[in-house]
Every structure is written in structure tokens, then in C-alpha cells.
Structure 1
């Protein structure tokens, strides 16, 4: 057998060659849609693995440099997220490695991690439960040693229009006046029967599936309060969509909708008030979108805390 020598070859490195005609710094350079599994603690502290999509970037502040080291970003993402659970500390270390591996090119780094977080939710009235999926985005950045991170999610809920409810009540009153003349004595049993008939509910307010998109900036020293944030928003809105639904659950949901009539403006204010009282949240941005059943366009409202020129609507 003939022995062969495995000699390292000198391969061309085009990226190291300057392009004087196209020189200049760039705000961000990196990779999007990196597929990687992440592990994150659930409400009980149990680590849950989820498929994620990651965007990793650094700035390019050396005008004459042709490009960054893309492979270094990818390898750092793979090594860090495979080795340890996702947390503010792990992201801080990852961003620090981005910058150390690009010390001659960059002084800012950022990462975005997108995944679906599944939570088992009990039914409103029955003994059943089911799974709900919440899309989550975690953004982190580092500049001049300062680390910042944000948490974003979207929550689906039901909204019943207060104006439509008032108009429906007016029609029900008019129907009652027609069915029970002034010169006739009111019989309680007849009224109860009427209320349970289609004549008694001759009009219903319109309601629709709605979306609450929430982005919060968290203070240092806190973990990712994903479930706490979801619970906070669902508690403020009171009508989150359900999973397992029996008749008693549907009736309970109808009651919640009737007790929580809201325009998109009302929903945005409810969320703002809830977030304003959470000490972990430094800044926030919320959008309430009511996907109207009355017309083909959406009704939307935005609210922010806007600390030091932070999030803008």
C-alpha cells in the first residue's frame, strides 16, 4: 500500500482582500435563520427543548475590511446553545464571544432567538386541559460592555365590541316591548321562557379573535419570565382563547366575553396598566389587533412606556 501525505493546503481567502471601490462601515452583518435546538426552563423549572431560528450579527466598523467571519458566529451559536440552557447569562457570554472573535472588526453584537413555547392550560369549567402555543422572540445585544435583552410574545384572545353590544341590547329591548304590551300584566314565567328563546336574543354583538403582541425590555438580574408575562397579559384581557372546550367551558367563555366588552383601545390600556406595575419590566411596547368580523380591516391600538426614547408605537 502506498503511503500518502496529508499536507495542509494554502487556500485562498478572498474575504481578507480589501475592495477599495466599495469600502465603508456597515451597521450589521451576520446570519439569519440559523436552525438550532434550544433548552429553556418552563414554569416548573423543568428544561424543555424546542426548535429555534436564530439571527446572529455584529457590526463592521472597519471600513476597509471586506467582511466578517461568518463561520465563527455560527460555531459560537451552535456551541453555546447546545451546551447550556437559554438564559440572560448564557446570551451575555455568547455575545461576548462574538465580539472577542471579531475584536479587530466589531464593537457591537446582537442575537435574536425565535421559537414556540407550549403551555398546558386547564379548561375554564370542565376538568379537561389542552396545549397552547405561544410564539416567543428573545433579543439580546451588547455594546461597550452594556448588555440589554428583550422578550416578545403574542397572545390570542376574544374581543366583544361594546358598541355592538349596546346596539344589540337596544334591539332586545324593542323586541321585549313588542312581545309584552303595556296593557298586559308581566308574567315572570313567560318572561323567563322568552329570555331563553330566539326571540329573546334577537340580536347578538359581534366578537372576533384578537391578537396581543407584547415586547418588553427586562432589567438586569431577571431571567426570562415567559409564563409570567403570558399570565400577566391574559389576566389583564380576561378572554384568552381556549383549548379543550365542553359546553360548560363555552358558556363560561361567553360569560367572560360579556363581562369584558372592549374596544382595541381598552385592550391596549389594560395591557399597559398591567405592565406598568411589574418591576422586572424596564420598558414595553404593546399592540392590540382586533381582526374585525364586522369589516375586512383590523382595528389596532398601540401603547408604550417609552423610557428614555425607548420603544415607539
Structure 2
């Protein structure tokens, strides 16, 4: 009987040595990953190095099938490391490095500042992992939105209000009721500082021995450091509380970057990090940006 087994072209060897390749695999694989008890809609990159100079290719289907483990158990560093080991185990003799990167948006329900309302916020995140002869490497990327009010414009607005106050009360005695009424009138508070929606981008090198991914803890720490996290569902009391938070947390981009730097230095499980804050200014047509990094040294 004729042998009609399917040909495996990738398993063919070359009669001459070929260049090795740093990465061979797939990108943008759609995958629902279980995180914090909920499915996280992810796009996944999976690959290995091709270190056998005589091999034509790798077995991509083996990588794809190994990803099934991420659907069935909570996303954790041990789970990711096990998948990477499976990548290498299925390519023994071909590959010395394995890569697994995930990108998605984590939806967290966040409470309002004062009222009992709550709403959902999306936090873009990426998780880049690698396993090679130097060990298991993990980088977590987080993006957070917040509000920033310019300290300079706040001071300039206060000066204009002072000048208006002196002009309006130059002729008569100061009565408490008159001052209260003046403060509540739009004609009195004639200037306001400019604020802008801002963004923090964190790239965190995590300790590979962590059992759980500290995403929620890091988001909470970053938002607490900034003090002006973007809100979801609000009532007027929440909006007023948000205005108060902005007034108490006047920030140049340099201030925001330093706050985040200090907050991340205090977090357990981080080996090193880089961060960037972007203030999409309402005064200028360009952004104000500050960057910082920590290499893990004291």
C-alpha cells in the first residue's frame, strides 16, 4: 500500500549551514486569558529562537497548542514559565530561547470619590516574558490615565483673583457676608488654572519568583501616588471632590514622574523599571513629557 503520510517540509534539513534566527513564531494570536477570575481579551506573540543552522524551520503548531494552558488556569508567572518550558521542550535541539508576550486591556470597576457609584475603567497592559539559559525574565507594562493641573497657571490665576478682590473692595469695609458672596460669584473667581488629561506608562521588570502578578497592587499604588486618577460614574459631589484633589495635587510632568518613581521604588517584587508621563497640555499644542528609570541599584 502506498504511503500517503503528509510531508513535513519544516523538518527538512539543509545541505549547508544557514543563519540562525533570534525569533520565529506567531504574532497577534487572539486568546482569552484568565486573570483575576475574568477572561482577559489578549493578543499573544509566541516564538522561539532557531539555533540549529541546518534546520529549515520550527513547529509553529506546537507553540499554538501550548497556549491552551492560559485559557484553563489563572494567569501567573509559574503558568507562563511552564508554557515557555513547553515551547522549548517541543523544540529540543532547535531552540535555546522562548518568548511569550501578551497584550490586552484589564477592566477594573473603580469606586467614585464620594458617592456610592462605581464604573469600569480600562487599563492597557502588556506582559513580555522570555526563558533562556540566563533564566526567566518578565516585564510588565501598564498605562494609567490621570488629571494634572499646572502649578504655574494656578499661581497666575490666584494672582488675578487677588487683583480683582483688591479692586472690588477698595472703597469700603470688608464684610464677611460680602466676601462669601464674592467668592461664590463667577465675576470674582475670574480665572482658573488649566488642567489636562495625562498618561503614565510604566515598564516594570518583575522578580521571576513572584507567584501572582501584582497588577492590581501596582495600579493602586500608582494612582494613590498621583492622587488624581480619572473617574468613571460621578455625581456632583464626586466632581467637587475631584476638583479638590486636583487643587491639592498641582503637578508639572516632573512632579508626576518623581511621585511615580518613588512609589514604584517602594513596591515589592520589582527589579528595575522605566517610566514616562505625558501631559497633553491644554495650553500648548504639544505635550509635556518626563521620563525616569531605576536599574535596581540602591
Band of TM-score, shorter chain: over 0.9
Residue pairs, 1:123-202, within 5 angstroms: 123-144=112-133, 146-181=135-170, 183-202=171-190
Normalized against structure 2, the TM-score is what?
Answer: 0.94
1:178 Cα deviation after fit: 1.6
How far 1:14 moved relative to its partner? 3.1
Residue in structure 2 matching 1:112, options 101, 112, 115: 101
- Find out whether 1:64 has 2:60 as its counterpart: no
Separation in 2, partners of 1:8, 1:132: 58
Q: Output the CA distance in 1 between the equivalents of 2:20 and 2:256.
A: 43
Cα 1:239–1:20 shift into 2, 3 Å:
farther
Residues 226-249 of structure 1: per-residue CA shift (max 9 Å, x gap):
110100000000000101111000
Q: Which secondary structure does the structure 1 equivalent of 2:256 belong to?
A: helix
Structure 2 Cα separation of the partners of residues 114 and 71 of structure 1? 21
What SS class does the counterpart of residue 199 from structure 1 fall into? coil
Whether contact under 8 Å (1:37, 1:52) holds in the other structure is yes
1:44-59 pair list within 5 angstroms: 47-59=37-49
Alignment of 1:8-47 (within 5 A): 9-17=4-12, 23-41=18-36, 47=37
Alignment check: 8 A CA contact 2:34 2:72 kept: no
TM-score, length basis structure 1 = 0.89
Shift, 1:305, TM fit? 0.7
Distance 1:22 1:146 in 2: 28
Calculate the aligned-residue CA RMSD, in Å: 1.9
Aligned partner of 1:44 in structure 2 is none
Answer yes or no: is the 8 Å Cα contact 1:151–1:224 preserved in 2. Answer: no
Residues 46 and 63 of structure 2 are in contact (CA less than 8 Å); yes or no, is this contact kept in structure 1? yes
CA distance in 1 between counterparts of 2:114 and 2:139 reads 35
Cα offset, 1:12, TM superposition: 3.3
Deviates further, 49-58 or 264-273: 49-58
Identify unmatched segments of 5+ residues in structure 2: none
Aligned length: 296
* Structure 1 residues 292 and 19: CA distance shift in structure 2, 3 A: farther
Q: Contact 1:31–1:56 at 8 Å: present in 2 too? A: yes
Q: d(CA) in 2 for partners of 1:26 and 1:167?
A: 58
In the alignment, which of 236, 245, 251 is matched to residue 247 of structure 1?
236
2:14–2:56 CA contact under 8 A, matched in 1: yes
1:11 is displaced (CA, Å) by 3.0
What is the SS of the residue equivalent to 1:307? Answer: coil
The answer (yes or no) to whether the contact 1:32–1:54 under 8 Å persists in 2 is yes
CA distance in 1, matches of 2:273, 2:81: 21
Q: CA deviation at 1:285?
A: 1.5
Question: What do residues 206-255 of structure 1 show as CA deviations (whole Å, max 9, x unaligned)?
Answer: 10111111121222332101110100000000000101111000000000
Contact 1:138–1:150 at 8 Å: present in 2 too?
A: yes
For structure 1, the residue ranges without an aligned partner over 5 or more in a row are: 42-46, 309-313
CA–CA separation in structure 1 for the residues paired with 2:17 and 2:252:
52
Deviations 1:8-32, CA, capped at 9 Å, x for gaps: 6233333344567992111111101
Tell me which moved more, 287-296 or 56-65: 56-65
- Asked if 2 retains the 8 angstrom alpha-carbon contact of 1:160 and 1:261, the reply is yes
